[in-house]
Amino acid sequence: MSRIISAALCSLVVFAVSSSDAFAANAAAGKATYDASCKTCHLAGLMGAPKLGDKANWAPRIKKGNAVLVSNATKGFKGAVGMMPPKGGNAKLTDVQIGDAVAYMVSGSK
């Protein structure tokens, strides 16, 4: 029984490390999307957008998880403080590009 538990724990560690590496790779790819489509609002805080690097403003968002952040960025979101248009107002962005840009902003705001 302990071998099964050990194997499960090892698998969990490998999964956690590989997921972290994948998220980091997406963050690097997301810089181009951020610079081209997200920077206008997230640099200046337009429409209540959390500024890149503002840890206090990003913390409650990051706590909700990447899936929620990507969904809000893709579909649009209206919160108590501001709003996010679907795909940041750039309908040509793919879901992958949105996810990469979110990864970039999260990694720069922790």
Is residue 77 situated within a structural domain? yes
Is residue 58 situated within a structural domain? yes
- Residues 72-97: pLDDT tens digits? 999 999 998 899 999 999 999 999 99
- Are the beta carbons of 73 and 103 closer than 8 angstroms? no
Q: Which residue has the higher pLDDT, 55 or 16?
A: 55
> Domain containing 96 — which CATH number?
1.10.760.10
Q: Indicate whether 13 pLDDT > 80.
A: no
Q: Can you give the pTM of this predicted structure?
A: 0.77
Is residue 16 situated within a structural domain? no
Q: Which residue range is the domain that position 93 belongs to?
A: 24-107
Is residue 11 situated within a structural domain? no
Sign of CA dihedral 43, 48, 50, 55: positive
Domains identified in the chain, total number: 1
- Residues 21-67: pLDDT tens digits? 565 668 788 999 999 999 999 999 999 999 999 999 999 999 999 99
Please tell me the distance from the alpha carbon of residue 72 to that of residue 87, in angstroms, as a whole number. Answer: 9
pLDDT value at residue 16: 38
pLDDT value at residue 106: 95
Is residue 12 situated within a structural domain? no
Is residue 2 situated within a structural domain? no
